Amino acid sequence: MVPSKPDTAYKSREEQHIVEHAFERALWNSRLIVLLAVAFGIFSSIVLFITGSLEIVNTLTQSVDLTHIHVEHTDILIGIIGAIDFYLIGMVLLIFSFGIYELFISKIDIARAGNVFHNILEITNLDDLKNKIIKVIIMVLIVSFFQRVLAMNLTSGTDMLFMALSIAAICIGVFFLHKINM
């Protein structure tokens, strides 16, 4: 019986047929298609950060009336919370872009060399990437919920009860999500 090669063994270039080598090279290089997702993810993130900043500027210019020294507090909160939503979604796109780049292309050496490497880039597999993105998406949903709550007109005791129950449900969900991740 001839001993089989271990799973970690691979054929050298000389052991491969030319067609096999060409196919494997093309297959391996096809991973570079994720550069489109990285580039457009970064571009979208930049757009969202700019949009969030413009949302804050727009909110402040529309909500503050210096001629009568009047400030619309609720409008300011709604606008700023909306901007936070843009920032959080921009962060999701950054995490996604960094993660797929590191998983499919290469580690981001400049971040590691400059001692600015943070756990945001600690992505070793798709599950790590998914978990990081899910956490930020949950925060986006919570912030979006509170933005809508601020815009609501509470007219009855039932409205206030449902709002309180909704907030309690979110708090319980976040508590258990944090408990699971520990």
pTM over 0.75: no
As a whole number, mean pLDDT of residues 164-182 equals 76
- Per-residue pLDDT tens over the stretch 75-114: 788 888 889 889 989 988 998 898 889 888 888 777 777 6
How far is Cα of residue 66 from the mean position of the Cα atoms in its chain? 38
Which is more confident, 64 or 166?
A: 166
Residue with the two structure tokens 């959080």: 88
Overall average pLDDT of the 116-134 stretch: 73
Of 174, 84, 83, 80, the closest CA to residue 134 belongs to: 174
What is residue 149's three-state secondary structure?
helix
Supply the mean pLDDT for the chain: 80
